[in-house]
Amino acid sequence: MPKSILFTISIFLLASPLCAQGPLRVAAAADLEPVLPPILAQFQQSTGIHAEATYQASAMLTAEMENGAPFDLFLSADLSYPRRLIDEGLADTTGTTTPITYAKGTLVLWKRKDSHLSPPSLDLLRSPALRRLAIANPERAPYGRAAIATLKSLGLYDALKPRIVTAENIAQAAQYADSANADAGLISLTSALTPRLRADGAYFIVPATLYPPIEQGAIILKSARNSAAARKLLDFLLSPSIQAQLAKSGLAPAR
C-alpha cells in the first residue's frame, strides 16, 4: 500500500471521535466487579468501543461524580444514587428522567466450607456461635442496607449489631468472609458465584421478602465525552443475550 494512503488512514483514525475521546469510562458498583469485565470485552469485540470500569461502593462513586470525576456511564447497585445525580442536574436526561434498571441484585448468606458453623441458613444468623458477620457499609452500599433490613426483618439486628464487621463495599465484605476475618457474610450472589467463593464456601439465598428489592440503575452523565457510546453499552447490557449472561452470574433480569 502506498505510504500516502497509509498516512491518510492514520490521520483519519486519529481524527475519529472514538480515538479522540478515549475509552468509555464506566463507574460500576462493586457487585459488578466479578461480572462486568467479560461483558466489556464482548462489547468491544462487537462495537470496537473500549470501555474501562472503576469499581467502588455506589455512594463513593456518586460522591466522586458530584466532585467532577470524569465518568460517562454510572452503573449503580440501586436506584437512589442515580436519582440523586438526576436531581442534581448531573445526568443526561435525554429520552428519560429516571434511571434505567439494568438488573436486580440478590442477597445471600455465605460461609466457608471449612468453618465449624452449621450450613448457611437463617438459623445460622440466630446461632450464638456466629461471632462475626461481614456486611457492606449500609451508608454507602445498597447490599449493606439490604443486609441491615434483613436482620431487622428477622428481629436479629440488636443482637447481632455488636458482631457486625463492616466493609467498604460488597466485594470487601466477601473478602472478609472468605479470609475468615468474619465467620460469615451477607454478600451479593455475584460474589458468591465467583470461582473462588464457590470453591471455598457455600451460600444460602436470603428470601427476597426480607429486604427491599435491589434494583440496579444506570444513568449517562451530562458531562459524558461520548454519550452515544454510553448509550450503546447500556443497550448492550439490556440485550437478551447479555441479560441471560448476567442472570448466570447472579443478577436477575431487569424485566
Q: From first to last of its 255 residues, what are the pLDDT tens digits of the chain?
A: 444 443 333 333 333 444 446 899 999 999 999 999 999 999 999 999 999 999 999 999 999 999 999 999 999 999 999 999 999 999 998 888 899 999 999 999 999 999 999 999 999 999 999 999 999 999 999 999 999 999 999 999 999 999 999 999 999 999 999 999 999 999 999 999 999 999 999 999 999 999 999 999 999 999 999 999 999 999 999 999 999 999 999 999 987
Contacts of 54 (CB under 8 A, 6+ apart): 25, 26, 27, 28, 61, 71
CA 82/CA 122 separation, integer angstroms: 32
Q: What angle do CA 140, 142, 143 make, to 5 degrees?
A: 110
**Sequence ranges of the domains in the chain:** 3-104+214-248, 107-205
Could you confirm whether domain 3-104+214-248 is CATH 3.10.290.20? no
Are the folds of 3-104+214-248 and 107-205 the same? yes
Residues in a beta bridge with 216: 103
In this prediction, residue 111 carries a pLDDT of 97
The grid coordinates of residue 199 equal 470453591
* pLDDT value for 99: 96
pLDDT of res. 96: 84
Task: For residue 107, give every residue at least 6 positions away whose Cβ sits within 8 Å of its Cβ, in sequence order, or none.
Answer: 143, 146, 147, 150, 186, 187, 188, 189, 205, 206, 211, 214
- One DSSP character per residue, 67-123 reads TT---SEEE-SSSHHHHHHHHTT-B--TT-SSPEEEEEE-EEEEEETT-SSPPSSHH
**CATH homologous superfamily of 107-205:** Periplasmic binding protein-like II (3.40.190.10)
Rounded CA gap, 207 and 122, in Å?
Answer: 9
3-state DSSP call for residue 252? strand
Helix (H) / strand (E) containing 205 = strand 201-205
Provide the 3-class DSSP secondary structure of residue 34. coil
